[in-house]
Amino acid sequence: MRDYRNPNAGTLKHLDWFTVILYLLLVIAGVISIYAASYDFDHASIFSFEEFSGKQIRWIGLSLLLGGFLLVIDARMYETYAYPIYFAMLLLLLVTIFVAPDIKGSRSWLVFGPMSLQPAEFAKSATALALAKLFSSYNFNLNAKGSNYVKALAIIFVPVLFILAQKETGSALVYLSLFFVLYREGMSWLVLFAALVAVVIFVVAIKFTESTVIGMPVGEFAVMVMVMTLMVGMLVLYVRRFEIARNVFLWFAGTAIVESVLSKWDLHLTGYAYFLSVLGVAVGYCLFEMLRVEAKKLSITVLTVVLSVAFLFSVNFVFSHMMPHQQKRIQVALGVIDDPRGDGYNVNQAKIAIGSGGVTGKGFLKGTQTKLKYVPEQHTDFIFCTIGEEEGYLGTTTVILLFLMLILRVISLAERQPTTFARVYAYCVASYLIFHFCINIGMVIGVCPVIGIPLPFFSYGGSSLWGFTILLFILLRLDASRSSRLTQ
Amino acid sequence: MIGGFIVVIAIIYLIRLFGLQISDSKYKDYADNNAFLRKTVYPSRGLIYDRNDSLVVFNQPAYDVMMIPRDVHDFDTIDFCNTLQISPETFQKRLATMKSSPNYSSYTPQTLITHLSAQDYGRLQEKLYRYPGFFIQKRILRQYNYHSAGNILGNIREVSQADIKRDPYYESGDYCGDLGIEKSYDHHLRGVKGKEILIRDARGRIRGRYDNGARDIAPVSGRNLKLSIDIGLQQYAESLMVNKIGAVVAIEPATGEILAMVSSPTYDPTLLIGRARGKNYKMLVDDPQKPLFDRALQGAYPPGSTFKPSQGLIFLQEGIVNLATPYPCYRGFVNGRLRVGCHGHASPITLKPALQTSCNAYFCWGFKAMVDNKRSKYGSSANAFEVWKKHLVSLGYGYKLGVDLPHEGRGFIPNEKFYNKIYGEGHWSANTIISVSIGQGEILATPLQIANLCATVANRGWFITPHVVKEIQDTLLAPEYLEKRLPTIDSKYFEDVAEGMRMAVTGGTCRLANLPDIEVCGKTGTAQNPHGRDHSAFIGFAPYRDPKIAVCVYVENAGFGATYGVPIGSLVIEKYLTGHISPARKYLEERMLESNTIIYSGVKKH
């Protein structure tokens, strides 16, 4: 039974100490890395408030206070005040656009005397609370009516717009990770599948442009072949109409043979003419079949094919209309161009730092890449380099495993929540962590484009640390009170 | 599914990190190349002194502006050019030159501007922090106290690709010796380069020494050399040879040490220092009088009558003649239709007077007696000729003597096969080749070889390989410059030849060399040649009883040996032994200093 006189009794008992310990390990490892990253020839003590590490220790102290405070608040308060908190935060984001000073082109920092805070970091928890509140409202079902999607997407995208207006593209992209939550709460897998297809088409089409096959770039040729394979695959696995799949397959195979034979005498159709006509006939055939068989799945297949081709064209269009520096960043990240002096410099130096660490690293405070400032933003976004250089593969593996454990733990916490509110909120936390983890480490080791977002708990900066502390400790508070809710 | 997704991503990242950190070691090198600037510290090159401890060659610092193109960021080019006081066009040109070099790499230090003056160096040093990627490399250039002995000293130059390939010690941008002892003693002079490992940050700024310099390698200075050259005598001999083409070699007989070695026309070694080197070197190469060609070492001349002492020695050794053997001279050697001219003196004549008067006929008869005697111990002319040749080789002719300088010539002494090729086996005899007996015909020798014969006579039967370096700091001289070499001729015969040479000075062809206080021995030479007037030659040594100096003078197209060879040779001897020229001989000195024989070069005799 709930003890109404002391709503917090049992919070400590029910607190998920495993998560707390992971949190503390990450934060402590973080501050040590910051000390190493900003260590200089004229170094001072790790505790000096003049140093990044000293400042970070202060932030950590405040974070622990904040965490403790969040734990003593009644769990129901978060649900009750989710919308007010969300709207207050939107207001703050809006105000920030206009009052924030321009710092390296971004208007996202609110300056309070010696302290600067980035509201975008705090908006993550507010958005998570609002999304959880929406899903926990009475009889809410995402797929029940279209307006529910609109509400959910609005909660996600309004802060995204405000943050984009602050020119913080990286922080805004983080919110896209909430699609994981939507998927968990009933959104069709097709959306994630479509996103995957889109990413593959994007990468293949942009990465492979150097040679041409039958008059089109090899990347786009490959995309077209993939679309054909996808069409046949969906007809077999999803629509499960084997005779249609067989006919389409025979059509593709037959025309491909004719095309390749004709190409010997240069009589073949060039690139797009060939694919568009062949795919057009196949789509027309499927449309005809829709008159006879169950239309929904077939129409989704047809739609997938049409959208894929349309996406390919739009990728080409959008890419050629991008700013040159954006194009370059994407090309560097995809390995299309090698540019160690310019846009590739950061990633190249980051790779050198990590790669030079070897198995056991160069030793604490012995990293040359980071000490001599070859790695940019080494105490913030590129903090992982310091670990890689000084602690080697053992260090990087440890950090990755710590994050993996934390994320899996958060997911398991989410799944054990009795209430929709707590579950959705927990998934939001997991999604944010996944996105930050994947993108930050991915960019440092050169597998995804450079998107300036911090490594949670590691990167220097109070806003990021506080933002994630708030996210995590609200979750811990909700989780700690789940048994009382069960019996409520 | 979300959990599975994150596990897959984590595994991908761990695999990727494995690739970066463990299986690929190139990143370690990249990181080291980033952080460590390995700067070469050049050792000071060995100093060069003359035999009297006068400093001849020393070092002066020079500063090169180096750049590592990869580390250079945008910088204020105008300010940079103003600091160095060069025009932006010059700067661009140098940049282009640098980039077109075969050694160019954007990752290693490249030389942008060489040999900065001390003032420019000072100004640039102050501003260097503004130009990341640039640094100043201190170098050693040579400086000379005397404008003499360029052919002996040589100079230094930047190494070529071939040098780097030949000797792994060298790296692009190093300097190595070129010509002279700078080349032949390069290993001793250059020392060992050191390395300084500096820590460099991302902006190209130097942040200190790596490991507090514990891993630096200190340079080892090159060894100093003490020459056997007497720089004063060298200068004096050079001045006597002004406006003449030829060579003077003076040797200390007892040690084989070369006291002076002049090749004329010569050049000022200071022409080949620093930035002006390229231009001046080309000028010297293009000079039609070929000052870079060392006539003392490389010139192959007919020795003429200076060859006669060697002939006398061979005849005595082979028992062809004794001191009393007379040969007739009817104003020359006459045998059948063959005639070799001579000048007026008594006839018949024996060895010593023949040396005194430089009688051609005597040595022709002697040679004929040795080579053409069918009943002799040799069996054939060819065999006799081979014996004759071997004696000459043992006296230092026909092959390189092994002086400690590069590019020594070997002269030429023909052998049996050479004549078989020309005339056919058995179709030649002494008469066919009679001119070799008086140092003409096919015989060629370097002035050094001729001087060496003189030293051998002075020593009465042995010589030490001539050399120009007397001492090497902390090291012993190579053994070949300490060991006596014995010719195949018994030392007892040398006294007689020396006496003949003494007679030539007191009452023969070399009377101009008859100094009042010093007993000089000598032999003139007047060598016919296809290039114009006869070459004037002289060998001589003094004092007669205790020789301190042996000299060879060879002046191209200057006529009789007595007109240029003897005066110059005797002046060199007098100067060396007494330190001055006696007033009675000043006229001779003046005449030699002022005379010009270059005008006769290349002029055909009519």
The percentage of residues in chain B with a pLDDT greater than 90, rounded to a whole number, is 53
- CATH architecture of the domain B37-227 equals Alpha-Beta Complex (3.90)
Give residue-wise pLDDT tens across range B235-246.
999 999 999 999
Residue of B nearest to A373 (CA): B202
Question: Which CATH class for the B231-282+294-600 domain?
Answer: alpha beta
pLDDT score at B246: 94
Instruction: State whether residue A388 sits within 8 Å of chain B by CB.
Output: yes
The closest CB to that of A411, out of B3, B17, B24, belongs to B3
3-state secondary structure of B335: strand
End-to-end CA, chain A: 7
Say what the pLDDT of residue B302 is.
94
Q: Does B205 touch chain A (CB under 8 A)?
A: no
Confidence (pTM): 0.68
What is the C-alpha to C-alpha distance for residues A120 and A109, in angstroms, rounded to an integer?
9
Contact yes or no for B201 and A396 at CB 8 A: no
If one counts every other C-beta atom within 10 angstroms of the C-beta of residue B180, the result is 23
Q: Which residue of A has its CA nearest to B1?
A: A184
Residues of B in contact with A430 (CB under 8 A): 2
Model pLDDT, residue A2:
45
Supply the pLDDT for residue B606: 42
Q: What pLDDT, on the 0 to 100 scale, is given for residue A265?
A: 78
**How many residues comprise chain A?**
488
Cα B584 to Cα B163: distance, rounded to the nearest angstrom? 54
Contact A425, A136 (CB under 8 A): no
Question: What local confidence, expressed as pLDDT, does residue A335 receive?
Answer: 62
Structure tokens at A482: 């789940």
Please give the pLDDT value at position B367: 92
Residue B250 to residue B262: CA distance in whole angstroms: 9
- Cis-peptide into B543, omega within 30 deg: yes
> Given the DSSP bridges, would you call strands B549-555 and B175-178 parallel, antiparallel or unpaired?
unpaired
Angstrom CA distances, A162 to A174, A176, A246, stand at 13, 14, 50
Nearest partner of B372 among B398, B336, B331, B399, judged by Cα: B336
- The answer to whether A349 faces chain B, any CB pair under 8 Å, is yes
Residues 6+ away with beta carbon under 8 Å from B168: none
CB contact, 8 Å: A372 with chain B? yes
- For residue A386, list chain B residues with Cβ-Cβ distance below 8 A: none
The pLDDT tens digits of the residues spanning B156-177 come to: 988 888 888 888 888 877 889 9
Whole-Å CA distances, A84 to A77, A130, A474: 11, 9, 16
Contacts of B304 (CB under 8 A, 6+ apart): B438, B439, B440, B525, B526, B527, B528, B534, B535, B537, B561
pLDDT at A337: 65
**% of chain B at pLDDT higher than 70:** 99
For residue range B352-409, what is the model confidence (pLDDT) as tens digits? Answer: 999 999 999 999 999 999 988 777 788 888 889 999 999 999 999 999 999 999 999 9
Chain B residues with CB inside 8 Å of A40's CB?
none
Q: Are A27 and A403 in contact (CB under 8 A)?
A: no
| Pair of tokens at residue B366 | 């002697």
CA distance A244 to A1: 61
Within an 8 Å CB–CB cutoff, is residue A144 touching chain B?
A: no
Is A389 within 8 Å of B27 when comparing Cβ atoms?
Answer: no
Partnered with residue B582 across adjacent β-strands are: none
Amino acid A333: pLDDT: 63
Write the pLDDT tens digit of every residue in A319-378.
877 777 777 777 766 666 666 656 677 888 888 899 898 898 888 888 888 777 788 788
- What is the structure's pLDDT at A5? 47
CB B572 within 8 Å of CB B554: no
pLDDT digits (tens, 9 = 90+) for B202-261: 766 777 777 777 778 888 999 999 999 999 999 999 999 999 999 999 999 999 999 999
- Give residues with Cβ within 8 angstroms of A320, minimum separation 6: none
Looking at residue A121, what is its pLDDT?
92
**Whether B497 contacts B312, CB under 8 Å:** yes
Please list every residue in chain B whose beta carbon sits closer than 8 Å to the beta carbon of residue A447: 12-13, 16
Q: How far is B135 from chain A (nearest CA, A)?
A: 18
Question: If you write DSSP's letter for every residue of B347-360 in order, what string do you get?
Answer: SSB-HHHHHHHT-H
Q: CB of A442 within 8 Å of any CB in chain B?
A: yes
pLDDT beyond 60 at B603: no
Which of A353, A373, A407 has the CB atom closest to B31's CB atom?
A: A353
Q: Spell out, as residue ranges, where chain A has pLDDT lower than 70.
A: 1-10, 40-50, 293-294, 332-343, 483-488
Phi and psi of A365, rounded to 5°? Answer: 70, 15
- Give the DSSP letter of residue B475: B
Tell me the C-alpha to C-alpha distance, in Å, between residue B233 and each of B27, B360, B469, B501, B570.
62, 34, 16, 24, 13
Six token digits for residue A233: 């695959």
> Between B379 and B106, whose confidence is greater?
B379
Contact yes or no for A357 and B21 at CB 8 A: yes
Chain A CA closest to residue B24: A355
Q: What is the mean pLDDT of chain B?
A: 89
Buried b / exposed e along B436-473 (16+ C-beta atoms within 10 A): bbbbbeebbbbbbbbbbbbbbbbbebbbbbbbbbbbbe
Q: Do A358 and B28 touch (CB under 8 A)?
A: yes
| pLDDT for A316 | 80
Interface test with B, best of A374, A375, A432 (most B CBs within 10 A): A374
Averaged pLDDT for residues B322-345? 85
B215 CB within 8 Å of a chain A CB: no
As a whole number of angstroms, the longest Cα–Cα distance in chain A is 90
